[in-house]
């Protein structure tokens, strides 16, 4: 059985070809269409639509009494429309503030008038520059020409008018008539004084009462709530519609209550199913291709996505009946949490939104069930943390239950709500959250077995130090083992800081250098004073060093390491050049006339890559270089450590090794800070004391030189872009 699953997982792990991607999309489209069309072949009883004439005479087959939602809504809308807008109470402080502003304005005008160092033109320019009011050339001249007594009278009259007008309610829609109000309030003034006052005062009258949208809506809601439900009665054999009568919304409601109106189930209905399925699949796959290219290459991820989406849409088809409370146990959050762990949170939310749209479509346009699906699941995704711990999923399930409960409250809290029904909905909301958590954990067991997808349970198992492959690494290449542990410690803390998958980073770092075991003595961390590269041709040395990547991938296949762990082996060096051996080959070539430098092929000294395609592998690439280089350089103070870390990250960025990793500059800055803190503890950076500045400066290593000028015996293992 294990051989069967190994071969099966190998087939699933193959790179996805374009035709396979199209096939998966087609299968998802056909699957969703089939699920939506379960009740497709069903005879229609009466086919009518609002605004169209009735095709026949329709009579009531039975007596019925009901609350008309349509007529009740009309009454509620009428009551709400009769509510006048509500404004906030008058803010008295605004009046006092504006009076003070008027005083400050006139004080400034007086300063300008009394400025003996400025001529009239300069004074006019100063007045025109006032921002609080609009003063034109004429007004500015009048302000300078009025006597002090006349200007004082204008000032006092302006303050009086502002104070009086702002004691009454002033709304924004009343400002247009404010100039006329000012005219009516003016006392006896000369024409010049009136001109000045009318230029200043209206600009200082501002609203002291604003429209209160919340209070207005509360008043309208209260008005709607005061409307009594409109009850209607239908007698058996009562004529609902005569042939040719124009169908109204009220008529349609009566037909639905009587149960003689069914949704159209013909080929037009099927067409709508096809369009809905096409829309759902298009959104998912377009996003997938645009933002999740790193999963595109694995067939198993696409097949997993196909199976999960179809299973949950099928569940929704059976559960999402707006007339039944069973719909509220739909565990949509399980789909969201599994996708968030396997892919990422953004993709999970997108799929959940699509599933929510499908749920609303399946449940005859129920906004409540659509939001019930999306809100709880989205909250679970956004609050899912520490996924390496099982209780994290129960916490997220609880959050999903709370989100479910909020949606239930929004749509069901009414004055006439039945308490027993509400308690049932509360119980089902929490049951949905708990069921989602259990399905998520159980689903990971199935996913790991059937699809070979790396799950937290597999990662926890692989992180055990008693794993056979780690034990073999410890005994065959103890220096590499210790290096891998140190890289894991560096990388894990950095991953935690930027919100990456720290457990995946830790396990990936444990296994990233397993390919060194067949040639352990050729790597400096495993050497004891003898460097075998001294006796080898540079190209031969380069082949050995580069070969640890390909050999590591072969060992990973042999030990059936998950694909996500294999990514760390393949990508932790990216496509960097073994600078030391390449330069050594060029130097030897320059000394040999028969082998010119031009014949030295740089590609033969370059790692096969690819460069990191995830944040996690990008972190390990940086940590690998930092750990190896710091071991060689041995920085002894914080400045040296900062320079070392910054130099390495800058070189990786300049070499375009992190371009496809998804790491932002903000992420890299936080990774640097994390590495510096960790290395400070590792190298026991001493406390700075006053007076020791010169001593510390003298002991600060020149990082830029030491990184690039590592002694030859260490270069194959610790040069930052090669380590």
Dump pLDDT digits (tens) for 211-220. Answer: 888 888 888 8
Measured CA to CA, the distance from residue 654 to residue 646 in angstroms comes to: 12
Range scoring the smallest mean pLDDT among 429-443, 475-489, 696-710 = 696-710
Based on the domain organization, do 435 and 486 belong to the same domain? Answer: no
Estimate the crossing angle of helix 468-476 against helix 502-511, to 10 degrees: 50
Asked which of 453, 478, 505 is the last residue of a domain, the reply is: 453
CA dihedral 404, 328, 288, 615 (to 10 degrees): 40
Cα 46 to Cα 61: distance, rounded to the nearest angstrom: 13
* Cβ-based burial of 19 (10 A; exposed 0-12, middle 13-18, buried ≥19): exposed
Question: Within a 10 A sphere around the Cβ of 149, how many other Cβ atoms?
Answer: 8
Q: Last residue of a domain, which of 261, 292, 327?
A: 261
Q: Given a cut of 90, is residue 536 above it in pLDDT?
A: no
Find the range with the poorest average confidence among 120-129, 251-260, 269-278, 673-682.
Answer: 251-260
Q: Please count the structural domains in the chain.
A: 4
Kindly report, residue by residue over 3-60, the tens digit of the pLDDT.
444 444 444 445 567 788 889 999 999 999 998 887 543 334 566 778 888 777 888 7
Q: Residue 266: inside a domain, yes or no? A: no
On whether both 292 and 221 belong to a single domain, the answer is no
Cβ-contact 58, 241 below 8 angstroms: yes
One domain, residues 576 and 689:
yes
pLDDT at 597: 54
Flag whether 233 is in a domain: yes
Q: Say if residue 600 is in the same domain as residue 700.
A: yes
Q: What percent of the chain has pLDDT over 90?
A: 32
CB 54 within 8 A of CB 244: yes
Same structural domain for residues 343 and 478? no
- d(CA 285, CA 305) in angstroms, rounded, equals 10
Highest mean pLDDT (candidates 168-182, 307-321, 408-422, 462-476): 462-476
Highest mean pLDDT among 82-96, 403-417, 476-490, 526-540: 476-490
Q: What is the pLDDT of residue 713?
A: 33
Answer whether residue 64 is part of any domain: no
Q: What is the pLDDT of residue 608?
A: 92
One domain, residues 534 and 606: yes
Residues 6+ apart with CB under 8 A from 533: 522, 541, 712, 713, 716
63 is a domain residue: no
Q: Percentage of the chain with pLDDT > 70?
A: 86
Residue 137: is its pLDDT beyond 70? yes
Task: Grade residue 624 by pLDDT with cuts at 50, 70 and 90.
Answer: very high
Q: What number is the average pLDDT over the span 119-142?
A: 87
What does the pLDDT average to over 458-470?
Answer: 88
Same-domain check for residues 174 and 247: no
Q: What is the arithmetic mean of pLDDT over 519-545?
A: 86
Same domain, 173 and 221: no
My answer on whether 483 and 569 are in the same domain is yes
Residue 590 has pLDDT above 80, yes or no: no
- Which has more pLDDT, 266 or 66? 66
The answer to the question of residue 235 being in a domain is yes
Provide the residue range defining the domain that includes 243.
45-58+69-86+212-261
**Angstrom distance (rounded) from CA 254 to CA 245:** 15
Tell me, yes or no, whether 478 lies in a domain: yes
Same domain, 390 and 339: yes
479 assigned to some structural domain: yes
Residue 499 belongs to some domain of the structure:
yes
**Total residue count of the chain as it appears in this document:** 723
Same domain, 472 and 609: yes
Domain boundary at 204, 221, 252, which? 204
Using one digit for the tens of pLDDT, what is the confidence trace for 187-245? 788 888 888 888 888 888 899 888 888 888 888 898 888 888 888 888 877 888 888 88
- 663-683 average pLDDT score: 91
320, 289: one domain:
yes
Q: Is the pLDDT of residue 646 over 90?
A: yes
Q: Confidence class of residue 710 from pLDDT cuts 50, 70 and 90? A: very low
Q: Return the CATH number at 492.
A: 1.10.3210
């Amino acid at each position: 059985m294990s051989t069967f699953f190994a071969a099966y997982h190998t087939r699933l792990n193959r790179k996805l070809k374009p035709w396979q991607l199209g096939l998966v999309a087609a299968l998802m489209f056909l699957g969703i269409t089939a699920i939506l069309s379960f009740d497709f072949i069903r005879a229609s009883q009466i086919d009518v639509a609002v605004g169209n004439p009735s095709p026949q005479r329709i009579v009531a087959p039975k007596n019925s009494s009901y609350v008309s939602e349509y007529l009740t809504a009309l009454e509620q809308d009428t009551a709400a429309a009769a509510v006048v807008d509500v404004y906030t109470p008058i803010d008295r402080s605004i009046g006092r503030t504006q009076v003070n502003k008027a005083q400050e304005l006139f004080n400034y005008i007086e300063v300008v008038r009394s400025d003996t160092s400025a001529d009239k033109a300069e004074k006019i320019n100063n007045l025109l520059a006032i921002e609080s009011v609009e003063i034109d050339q004429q007004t500015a001249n009048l302000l300078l020409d009025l006597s002090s007594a006349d200007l004082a009278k204008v000032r006092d009259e302006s303050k009086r008018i502002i104070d009086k007008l702002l004691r009454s309610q002033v709304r924004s829609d009343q400002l247009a008539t404010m100039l006329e109000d000012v005219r009516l309030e003016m006392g006896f003034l000369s024409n010049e004084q009136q001109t000045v006052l009318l230029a200043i005062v209206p600009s200082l009258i501002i609203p002291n009462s604003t429209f209160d949208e919340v209070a207005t809506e509360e008043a309208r809601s209260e008005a709607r709530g005061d409307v009594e439900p409109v009850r209607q009665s239908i007698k058996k054999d009562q004529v609902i519609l005569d042939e040719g009568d124009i169908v109204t919304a009220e008529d349609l409601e009566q037909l639905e209550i009587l149960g003689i109106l069914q949704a159209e189930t013909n080929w037009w209905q099927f067409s709508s199913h096809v369009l809905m399925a096409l829309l759902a699949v298009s959104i998912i796959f377009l996003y997938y291709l645009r933002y999740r290219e790193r999963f595109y290459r694995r067939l198993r991820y696409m097949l997993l996505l196909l199976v999960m989406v179809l299973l949950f849409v099928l569940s929704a088809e059976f559960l999402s009946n707006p007339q039944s409370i069973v719909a509220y146990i739909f565990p949509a959050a399980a789909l969201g949490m599994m996708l968030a762990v396997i892919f990422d949170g953004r993709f999970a939310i997108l799929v959940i939104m699509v599933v929510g749209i499908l749920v609303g479509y399946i449940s005859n346009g129920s906004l409540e069930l659509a939001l019930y699906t999306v809100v709880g699941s989205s909250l679970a995704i956004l609050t899912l943390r520490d996924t390496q711990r099982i209780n994290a999923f129960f916490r997220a399930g609880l959050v999903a239950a709370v989100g479910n409960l909020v949606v239930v409250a929004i749509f069901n809290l009414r004055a006439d709500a039945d308490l027993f029904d509400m308690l049932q909905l509360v119980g089902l909301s929490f049951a949905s959250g708990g069921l989602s958590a259990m399905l998520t954990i159980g689903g990971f067991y199935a996913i790991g077995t059937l699809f070979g997808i790396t799950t937290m349970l597999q990662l926890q198992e692989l992180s055990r130090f008693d794993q056979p492959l780690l034990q073999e690494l410890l005994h065959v290449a103890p220096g590499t083992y210790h290096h891998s542990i140190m890289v894991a410690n560096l990388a894990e803390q950095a991953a935690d800081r930027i919100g990456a998958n720290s457990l995946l980073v830790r396990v990936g770092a444990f296994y990233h250098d397993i390919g060194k075991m067949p040639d352990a003595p050729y790597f400096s961390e495993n050497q004891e004073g003898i460097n075998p590269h001294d006796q080898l041709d540079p190209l031969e040395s380069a082949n050995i060093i580069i070969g640890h990547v390909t050999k590591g991938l072969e060992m990973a296949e042999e030990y059936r390491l998950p694909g996500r762990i294999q990514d760390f082996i393949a990508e932790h060096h990216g496509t960097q050049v073994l600078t030391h051996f390449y330069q050594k080959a060029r130097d030897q070539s320059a000394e040999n006339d028969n082998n010119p430098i031009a014949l030295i092929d740089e590609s033969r000294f370059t790692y096969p890559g690819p460069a990191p395609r995830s944040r996690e592998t990008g972190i390990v690439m940086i940590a690998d270089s930092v750990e190896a280089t710091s071991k060689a350089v041995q920085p002894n103070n914080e400045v040296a450590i900062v320079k070392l870390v910054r130099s390495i990250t800058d070189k990786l960025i300049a070499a375009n090794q992190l371009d496809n990793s998804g790491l932002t500059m903000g992420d890299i800055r936080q990774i640097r800070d994390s590495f510096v803190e960790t290395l400070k503890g590792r190298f026991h950076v001493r406390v700075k004391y006053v007076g020791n500045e010169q001593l510390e400066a003298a002991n600060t290593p020149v990082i830029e030189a030491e990184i690039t000028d590592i002694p030859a015996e260490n270069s194959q293992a610790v040069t930052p872009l090669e380590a």
